[in-house]
Amino acid sequence: MEMLNPSDPQHIGPYTLLGRLGEGAMGAVFLGRSAGRTVAVKLISPGLAHDDGFRARFRAEVAAARAVPGAFTAPVVDADPDAEVPWMATAFVPGISLHQAVMLAGPLPEPAVRALAAGIAGALVDVHAAGLTHRDLKPGNVLLALDGPHVIDFGIARAADATALTAARLVPGTPPYMSPEQAMGHEVTPASDVFSLGSTLAFAARGSDLFGTGEVTAVLRRVVHDEPDLSALSDRLRLMVAACLSKNPADRPSPRDVVAFVEQDARPMAGAWLPPVLIAAIEQAAAVMAPSQSFGPGAAPAVAPTPPPPPPFAPPAPLPRPSRRKLLLGLAGGTLAVAGGGTGLALALWGGSSGKGDGKGGGKPSPSASLTDPARSLANGVVARPLWTAEIGDRLVQLAGAGHTVVAVTGTYIRAYDRSGRALWEPLANQSDNNGYRVGGMGGDSLAVDGSMAYAVSYAKEPLPTRVLRAVDLATGTVAWTVGRTGASVMTAWVPGMLDGVVYVAGMTMGGGGIGGQSAFVWAVDPKTRQIRWQQDFANPGMSQTMLKVPSSGSRLLYMDSAPDRSSATLTGLDITAGGKPAWEQPSPGPQTALSSLEALDVNWHDGPHCSAGGNFLILSGPLYAVDPANGQVAWQAAVQLPLRAFAAAPDGSLVYGAALDYPGHGLVYAFDAKSGTVRWAGQVPVASPGTVAIQCADGQVYVWINGKVWALDAATGAGRWSFEFAVGSPTDVSRPVAFWAGGGQVYGAGPKGLVALSASGK
């Protein structure tokens, strides 16, 4: 989103242009307003405007699109295909794209996916009845509004098929969401849209592309030949989505069949159809509809001052009101994709800046940018060189270490390396529960490390299938001792962290006395006695999600669990001096209260640096909150406009570092005072594409991982030291944990061939 260029028109038809949304194969897209309507205006490029064949097809497509009802779409409301430069205006839906929503809040809950299925399928019924085929149905072309989902950019892409795209031998569409017949260049029918519907619903339920990302031909090969993994969907949804994804178009249900299927199981929904954090984002985006929210050529967008953090123990403050420009971006960026075939231009901004800095310097901050200005560039162009690479042969799911030893964990074994990359012992067989994915449940890691031992959860068969904690000697790789629980089958277990030499394990059991024979548990394991010092069980109806956070100091653990219907989350302080008994209970703060989405997108560490600082617990619930361990009250809230995606504390606990994505332009990095939440420094680094975010702190530097690329920043000022791409050219899957650790003067991450080590200096 940018202000109008000098060459851009001031008006198109009856619409005054307020700003430029983007540019694609068919032309430019603008935000326009007439006396009574706000619209998205597409102005066809001059090259196509002089193509008589294109103009005729465009005229026919506009006429057909006008016949599509608007209940579940963004309909065409005005057009002039015979103008000197043809244009078209579509209704402007106040909402955010499905892609944007999942990047913000993670996978959608099942009721929302059902509502999404009915709404998109209903839109396809109308589109197909008008004689159109969408051809590019994907998360970026589905808008989530307060009244339900809306489908945009239907059918218009066909006008360009026989012009530039066909001449270039390109297949219109977006690879991960194409149907097999579309991928092979065969005839595209309405059944192709149903396949794309299945892929889109799977994305909403999984939080990631069903057929992956990467090199286009590889993605299309998977679309044509591979059976998709639908394990993240409930049984009923899985059946319906699997039918939509049939390789044979004749085997797919019609959109009417999908609507009927969802209505068959329909249950009344209490309240909004989306999680609170998405409702807040939609309401924030809708403010652009106010008449005062506009700007034209030469008008500087207003900048809203950052409000001070709330006083200690005050109720959480609402999210800050963004500037006028950010309001435009938050809505306009999420509401329109330029339909020109190819992969299209997905304008999936989520309420941040345009990716152009202050609009004058191409992303460069002004010379007077202050230390706390998020527009301050933290990049310096220095690229680190790897010290060594160790081939692993399996997907890394965790890296941890102590001193000059790094421990590498996969789903099948554990290895340890010294600073030179020398393997210290033969691989130790290990079956970890994450196995490369973020598994629902307690959360955390498979392993924790102290000075001489690694404490790893692993699978055991005897006397019944269960999980046990093994102590592995870092020097030799031998198992020094094992401890487990008798009388119950441990279904899954994690090691969130260690506190004062005690190892804490959390997980789920069958036959443990909970409702339906299920219970959640916490163990406190004493390495000195090699026994479970105490254990606490918690009823867990319906396999509700839970988390355990282990701080760097203090006498309380933070236990988080969801309501039986997963509609809200509760915080509980466990007193470790009283055998883990609850000391207090509080509702989780913030707009994002359902634990199914709390920290689900990126945060996969629950150890001290990643859950505590300044004597407080730290949690992400949309904003970042500091919670007093004495009573569970909010001590402060980070006063930044975008929701943080990851955080970590400095080793001394004085600062907390957080990162957010201003997709698709920047990663915004902040340093907060751990006692007050005040911003000490801020800045931005360029981001090529969205993905996972993670942070580690060591050796006087903060390391920010964004989609496989790490930025090393000075911990005191944020000044850039160097950057390095661990996963080049392949967006990281948000459903997988990040294998990334720093310490002992080195930085370690998962690269294409295995474990990669860098020097903290980057040299």
- For every residue of 11-76, which 3-state class applies, written as one string? EECCEEEEEEEEECCCEEEEEEECCCCEEEEEEECHHHHCCHHHHHHHHHHHHHHCCCCCCCECCE
DSSP reduced 3-state for 457? strand
Contact indicator for 351, 642 with CB cutoff of 8 Å: yes
Residue 136 lies in a domain: yes
Q: Is the separation of the CB atoms in 208 and 734 below 8 Å?
A: yes
524's tokens: 């406190």
Residue 351 is assigned to a structural domain of this protein: no
Beta bridge partners of 27: 44
365: left (phi over 0), alpha (psi -120 to 50) or beta: beta
Q: Is 65 exposed, middle or buried (0-12, 13-18, 19+ CB in 10 A)?
A: buried
Q: How many domains does the chain have?
A: 1
Lookup: tokens for 546: 């839970």
Per-residue model confidence (pLDDT) at position 611? 92
Task: Report the alpha-carbon distance of residue 715 to residue 656 in Å, rounded.
Answer: 10
Q: Does the pTM exceed 0.75?
A: no
* The two three-digit tokens of residue 364, written as one number: 């460069």
Residue 624, number of CB atoms within 10 A of its CB: 24
Strand order in the sheet with 634-637: 612-613, 616-620, 624-627, 634-637
Q: What is the pLDDT of residues 377-401, one digit of tens each?
A: 998 889 999 999 999 878 888 899 9
* pLDDT at residue number 534: 95
Residue 396's beta-bridge partner residues?
A: 410
Catalytic residue among 78, 126, 136, 153: 136
Q: How far apart are CA 229 and CA 451, in angstroms?
A: 40
Strand pairing category for 581-587 and 612-613 = unpaired
Question: Is residue 213 situated within a structural domain?
Answer: yes
Contacts of 726 (CB under 8 A, 6+ apart): 705, 708, 709, 710, 740, 749, 750, 751, 756
Inter-residue contact 478 to 470 (CB < 8 Å):
no
Residue closest to 556 by CA, chosen among 524, 593, 533 = 524
Residue at 185 is within a domain:
yes
Q: 487: how many CB neighbours lie within 10 A of its CB?
A: 10
Predicted local distance difference test score (pLDDT) of residue 478: 94
Helices then strands, counting H and E runs in the chain, come out as 13, 43
| Structural domain contains residue 600 | no
Residue 363: predicted pLDDT = 37
Distance CA 398, CA 237 (A): 32
Asked whether residue 331 is domain-assigned, the answer is yes
CA nearest neighbour of 457 among 525, 394, 529, 405: 525
Task: Examine the residue annotation and report whether 136 is marked as an active-site residue of this protein.
Answer: yes
Distance CA 192, CA 292 (A): 42
Instruction: Tell me the residue range of the domain where 252 lies.
Output: 11-345
On whether residue 395 sits in a domain, the answer given is no
- Residue for token pair 């690269």: 751
Q: Mean pLDDT in each 10-residue stretch from start to end of the chain (763 residues)? A: 76 87 70 83 79 78 74 81 88 83 86 92 88 86 88 58 36 78 87 96 91 78 89 87 93 92 66 79 68 39 33 31 28 28 24 31 43 88 93 85 89 90 91 50 70 87 77 94 81 88 88 54 94 89 74 94 66 95 89 48 76 92 88 91 86 93 78 94 85 89 92 94 77 63 92 91 91
Question: Reduced to 3 states, what is the DSSP secondary structure of residue 221?
Answer: helix
**Residue 209 maps to a domain:** yes
| CA–CA dist 483, 460 (Å, integer) | 11
Supply the CATH number for residue 308's domain.
1.10.510.10
* Region class of 94: left (phi > 0), else alpha (psi between -120 and 50), else beta: beta
Check residue 32 and give its pLDDT.
87
Beta strand 479-483 with 466-473 is antiparallel
Residue 165 phi, psi dihedral angles, 5° rounding: -65, -45
Are 107 and 600 in contact by the 8 Å Cβ rule? The answer is yes
